[in-house]
Amino acid sequence: MRYIKNIFFLMAKAFFFILLMIATLSSIFAQNSRDVDNSAKTSSQNKKSVKVFKSGKNSFFKTQKEGKEEYEDRMKQVAKDKKKSVKILKKPQYSDKSYFGHKRPPKKRPLSKRKLCKACGIVH
């Protein structure tokens, strides 16, 4: 009985060792993305695959100076937009609490004549 267990154990070890070797060898000889043979492509396919943008927004061939200028222009535009939004938010419609969802402050009616406001849901 013990002899059979030893044989089974040795066979299991051998099986896993062979399986490990197969996995290792398959990963070693697997095709790498860098191993692609470019000679199979025809010259017409090569011409189609190369896209060169010489002008416009999608220009790949920009100098560092042009890139910096574009960056500075974008930053100036962002700063300008931010100043504009801050200026708009300074209006009392956005900064004063009494306006709460209204363009003009709601009328303060006497208690007997107050109505439920549709805009903000408060009785004015």
pLDDT of residue 80: 96
**Tokens representing residue 54 in the block:** 């010489």
pLDDT of residue 65: 81
pLDDT of residue 27: 76
Q: How many residues does the chain have?
A: 124
pLDDT truncated to tens, each residue of the chain (124 aa)?
Answer: 777 878 888 888 899 899 988 988 787 777 666 655 555 555 555 555 545 445 555 556 567 888 888 899 999 999 999 999 999 988 888 777 777 778 888 888 898 898 888 888 888 8
CA distances to 41, 84, 103 from 110, rounded to whole Å, are 86, 39, 22
Residue whose pair of structure tokens reads 């209204």 in the numeric block: 102
